Structures are given as C-alpha cells and as structure tokens.
Structure 1
C-alpha cells in the first residue's frame, strides 16, 4: 500500500508540528496533497477508472475547504503551507 503508517507519521511530523498532531490543518492539507498526487499518477495510467476519479475530486474539494478555512483564520499559515507544498489556488 502506498500510504503506510510510517509515511503518515513522516508527513505529519514534517508539516503538522508533531507526528501525533494529526488534526492540524497543515498536516491534513499535506496528507491530502500526497494522496491527490498518488491518485493523479494512477489516473494517468488508468484513465477509465471513474471511481478513483470521483474520489480524487472529493479529495480536492476537502483540501480546498481546508485551505479556505486556513486563509480566513490565519493568512500567514496559509501562505507558508502553499509555499511549502508548492500548490496554488
């Protein structure tokens, strides 16, 4: 499986202040970005996999809502996570 517990801990340790802090917005955004990148690569090979495409759209929506929340609450944290992950709206 592509998303092992060790990979999750590494993502949360790098982006979410602590590996046990799985509820931070930055950690969740980083996790969603990792999953989005994986699903995008999968869909490049399997372009008729519509269930995965639907899941990808849902993940992008979740990440967008979290980014909007972060932008509204703390713009500096928003700018930092956007720059760190290399994503843009």
Structure 2
C-alpha cells in the first residue's frame, strides 16, 4: 500500500544529477537522504513511540552528515550550493 506522501526519487535525481547517467553522486545521495529524513520526521511526529523508525532516522542523519563532510572537504563551492538548495543550515 503506497503512502500518500511518497518520495519521488526520479524527480530528486533529475534535479540534483551532474550528468545524464548520474544516480549516485554525493549531491544526489544527500538530496535523497534529506527527502527520506524529512518524510520520517513527519512520521515520527505522529508516531512518537516508533523507536525502530527513530533508529533508522538517526542512521540516515549520520550518513548524510558524513557525506556532507566529505563534500565540504573536497568541493567547498558545491557544498555551499547544496546547503542553499536543501535549506539545511541557517
């Protein structure tokens, strides 16, 4: 049974890809993780006792943080642009 607010992976990949066959660059991975994190955050607001989902959410945020630190270390301009596009840091 599909969720009403499912994540549209093809749209996200299309928005953040760097070339035509790009599906796994840092930008795409961070954008997909951010979408899933936002989706699970909404789920946890409604289901406060869902600790299994909370554990998965913590793992995803950790993975996103590692990818962001890698991107900051290797390409600072792309890192800053991605933060702006995803509204991650104020």
Q: What TM-score do the two structures reach when normalised by structure 1?
A: 0.90
For structure 1, the 5+ residue unaligned runs are none
1:33 aligns with 2:22: no
Q: Which runs of 4+ in 1 moved over 2 A?
A: 17-20
Aligned counterparts of 1:80 and 1:42: Cα–Cα separation in 2: 28
Q: What is aligned with 1:61?
A: 62
Q: What TM-score do the two structures reach when normalised by structure 2?
A: 0.89
CA RMSD of aligned residues (A): 1.5
How many equivalent residue pairs? Answer: 86
Aligned counterparts of 2:88 and 2:59: Cα–Cα separation in 1: 17
Aligned counterparts of 2:52 and 2:18: Cα–Cα separation in 1: 33
Aligned counterparts of 1:57 and 1:68: Cα–Cα separation in 2: 17
For structure 2, the 5+ residue unaligned runs are none
Aligned counterparts of 2:39 and 2:15: Cα–Cα separation in 1: 19
- Contact 1:9–1:20 (Cα < 8 Å) also in 2: no
